[in-house]
Chains A and B, each alone.
Chain A
Amino acid sequence: MKTDECREWRHSLGAYVLGDLPADERAGVQAHLEGCAECRAEAESLKSVAVLLPLADPDRVERPASQPSPELAARIEATIGGERRRGRQRRQRRRFGFALGGVAAAAAAAALAIAILPGGGGGEPEQHVEFGALPGGVKIYATLEPHAYGTEIHMYVKGVRSGTLCRVYLRGPHGERVPAGTFTYRWGDDSDAVLSSALDLSRTRAIGVHAGNRTFVAPVDTGGATASTHSNQEDVT
């Protein structure tokens, strides 16, 4: 246990280990340390910090700490979000069994293909929709995920002219169209476009894409709803 004597010397230990004590006080501390293991241990502990002090630049310490720009967090999130989506896209393509060679023939043969696979947020299924009967070389498919705000849409398009403006919408149970945003298809871009619509996925009956002067529509099976009977390709009005 610390004695009063220890308490008195302890307050000098900082200056002692830093070598800042006058000679007479220094001798007094040394004499105390020789007879007190507890204070010796304390001095050793402080010394391990004191030896590091010369590394520090006092001017840097007093300068206000610099902070990253507020946009950095958003940039990191965007990078990670992009990687996550690309990873999911790859998994999705594997699930669909998209092999570049066989796609066109398969698409021509099938009027519409719809796949519902487990996954998505909150245990609700996300929906994978493949657009069928497309012109040769064109591929369109989408993943729809339910959210509280509506529906998140990941749209993958390939084979249309680079620079084509694509406008996406969801169609509700009464035929109403709720916009989901736009994107521009660029040749060589293998990423998916991420869009959102206020229409709830459970109320979504179809998804449509205006691409250039053509419109492609695929039904969305939201459980219990019968698939729409409209054509999968519409003329732009």
Chain B
Amino acid sequence: MQPGALRQERDVREAYAAHSGELYGFAMRSLGDSGLAEEAVQETFVRAWRAGERFDPEVGSLRTWLFAILRNVVIDLSRARAARPRVAEGGVEPSVEPLEQALLAWQVEEALRRIGEDHRRVLLETHFRGRPYNEVAAELGVPEGTVKSRVYYGLKAMRVALEEMGYED
């Protein structure tokens, strides 16, 4: 048996403990419904278990593999949910582009969650909310230079977090 392959129920339990939170987070972000998101995560682990022999840790991590399965599951569930005559009449397959976008957006948000609170705070206040650096510095009771360096280290930490999630630019 290859290391990491999901051949035993114990392997699935371990994989669930390690990755279910993230998988569910992305499923929620994509499907916007907790019931559907749980269905997607369940289907992902069942499919992974059925195809456990095909998982090759040399090709990619278990996490990446699970996300690839989840992506397909989310597409299937979205199509099932959105199945309406007009899709068939139009003869156009639903685009997968929004889903890729959703995955990337979720990864960026997850990266922001993973970096330290100090770094996240300055990025949210200065960049996302457009507040001046000196105002944020005064609010936090730190020099303006510290806010600037937190922005810098925050971005660096986000890059590491994104790479951990398999993002490649």
Contacts and interface: CB of A to CB of B under 8 A. Distances in A.
Interface stretch (A62-70, A171-179, A220-228, A229-237): A62-70
Task: Give the interface SS of chain B, mostly helix, strand, loop or mixed.
Answer: helix
Contact of A11 (B9, B20, B113, B148): B148
Contact of A80 (B25, B49, B120): B49
A52 B108 CA distance: 7
Given A48-B159, A79-B46, A61 B120 contact: yes
Between B25, B108, B124, the greatest number of chain A beta carbons within 10 A of the residue's beta carbon is seen for B108
A147 to B, nearest CB: 14
Interface stretch (B37-45, B55-63, B85-93): B37-45
Interface in B114-169: 120, 123-124, 126-129, 133, 145, 148-149, 151-156, 158-159, 162, 169
A175 B105 CA distance: 66
Contacts of B129: 58
Interface of B: 9, 12-13, 16, 20-21, 24-25, 28-29, 34, 37-38, 41-42, 45-46, 49-50, 101, 104-105, 108-109, 111-113, 120, 123-124, 126-129, 133, 145, 148-149, 151-156, 158-159, 162, 169
Interface of A: 10-15, 17-18, 20, 45-46, 48-50, 52-53, 55-58, 60-62, 65-69, 72-73, 75-77, 79-81, 83-84
Given A62-B124, A69-B38, A72-B38, 16 more contacts: A14-B155, A18-B126, A20-B127, A46-B159, A50-B155, A56-B105, A56-B108, A57-B109, A60-B29, A61-B113, A65-B25, A66-B28, A66-B34, A67-B24, A68-B24, A76-B41
